[in-house]
Structure 1
Amino acid sequence: MIKIQYISQGETPEQHLAHIGEACEAGCRWVQLRLKNVDMATYLNTALACRNICDQYGAIMIMNDHVSIAKASLADGVHLGLQDMNPKEARKILGENAIIGGTANTLEDCLHHIKDEVDYIGLGPYKYTTTKQKLSPILGLEGYQKIVLELSKQHANTPIIAIGGIELNDIEGILESGVQGIAVSGMLTGQGGLEEIIQNIRALI
């Protein structure tokens, strides 16, 4: 499994695409297109453009929330929030090979997703982040440690991806808690020296 996911960020769809291109150029190979407050036509057109960028670099493309857009744009999968479509329903639409992730904030959320056979769980937020509205309670290292320990007791092996305000100096401690990867947004958005940042992340992972 690829262990670094870039969640797109920007004021406009064009900015999202530019930042995705920059992240891919710098070596990121797992992208989640996360547009908010745009109409479906704009979302689809942006998704198709994102698909083209990801194809150029051999990157995995995941859509946030919208299963229909994921299918229409030939995305590799979808990331679903707790209030979105059930992962099993999404898999029926997207096919058995689709990568389906789910957002979680608690042990109960994780167990629910595991029951629904997601491919990975995006667990967070690690700390405060401005990239998401209606932020769930912050977990911090202690929260990750408790949840991962409980999951290990239940022999759960669905990969856990940490998310939410993560910076480079946070990564080593997060990984020591037992999670399998990280999702980042602000750390890679519009930053200089992206290739070095991604190399540093990989060295820690």
Structure 2
Amino acid sequence: MKKMKEVSLQYISQGKTPDEHLKNIEEVCKSGGKWIQLRLKDVDIATYLNTAVQCRNICDHYEAIMIINDNVGVAKAAMADGVHLGLNDTNPLEARKILGNNFIIGGTANTLEDCKQHIDSGVDYIGLGPFRHTTTKKKLSPILGLDGYQEILSELQDQNLKIPIVGIGGITENDISDIIKTGIHGIAVSGMLTDKKDLKEKIKNIKSYSLG
């Protein structure tokens, strides 16, 4: 059964090495994070899979949801809970055929048309962004900001299209209050939770907002 209840706060892993990713993931889980997306770039498939298996163990220990970024094969082999697909990655319909109905499938969107395409493809949630400039992506889509979020979410509501929308891309803690007023379901963050002091308190504070 899909576990979507913690979609409101997602941590997208960060680190200079796979070991740093795992260290940061464990710190977030230990501090109360319940939704982890393992996002490794520029590594070979064996390294990705080995890291994913270790991430699975960490997430199991802390009862956290584990999502793999981009790679459907690694998600299936590591027994992840789901996969998050970018606009140029595997089509969600194809991913569903490979992974089955019990996997969570998320998709990245930047426009209303992207959102509608993902909804037609049967994704479980949409990562909408970027909210503002972020250094975690080399090829950045146009910045949306609050106005962009409001416009897209209003259009989806007008067309009676319902799906959890997760804000992503350069979000800071000070942004959350305004973001949730747009009707956003949750947020996905990376730098905000990576290698931070008082992480437990920070996660508690973020979750105290009316996300979801």
What code does the residue aligned with 1:95 have?
A: G
1:132 deviation in Å?
1.2
Matched, 1:103 2:108: yes
The equivalent of 2:130 in structure 1 is 125
TM-score by length of 2: 0.96
Q: Over aligned residues, Cα RMSD in angstroms?
A: 0.5
2:84 matches 1:84 = no
Q: Secondary structure at the match of 2:27?
A: helix
Q: Which amino acid aligns with 1:80?
A: L
Residue 151 of structure 1: aligned partner: 156
* Equivalent residue, structure 1, for 2:200: 195
Distance (Å, rounded) in 2 between the aligned partners of 1:77 and 1:90 = 10
Q: Is 1:186 paired with 2:191?
A: yes
Give the Cα–Cα distance (whole angstroms) in 1 for the partners of residues 15 and 64 of structure 2.
Answer: 19
Q: Aligned partners of 1:59 and 1:91: how far apart in 2?
A: 22
* Count of aligned pairs: 205
Task: Give the percent of matched residue pairs that are identical in Structure 1 and Structure 2.
Answer: 64
**Rounded Cα–Cα distance in structure 2 between residues aligned with 1:89 and 1:131:** 27
**1:137-181 residue CA offsets vs partner (Å, 9 max, x unmatched):** 100000000000000011111110000011101001001001100
List runs of 5+ in structure 1 lacking aligned partners: none
In structure 2, the partner of 1:10 is 15
Distance 2:137 2:87 in 1: 14
Question: Which of 18, 32, 41 matches 1:36?
Answer: 41
CA deviations 1:171-198 (Å, max 9, x no partner) are 0100100110000000000011110110
Residue deviations 1:110-157 (CA, integer Å, cap 9, x gap): 000000010000000000111111011100000000000000011111
TM-score, structure 1 length as denominator?
0.99
Helix, strand or coil at the partner of 1:162:
strand
Pick one of 60, 66, 80 that aligns with 1:61.
Answer: 66
Q: 4+ residue stretches of structure 1 with deviation over 2 A?
A: none
Q: Mark the runs of 5 or more structure 2 residues left unpaired by the alignment.
A: none
Aligned letter for 2:157? S
The alpha carbon displacement at 1:89 in A equals: 1.0
CA displacement at 1:95 relative to structure 2: 1.1
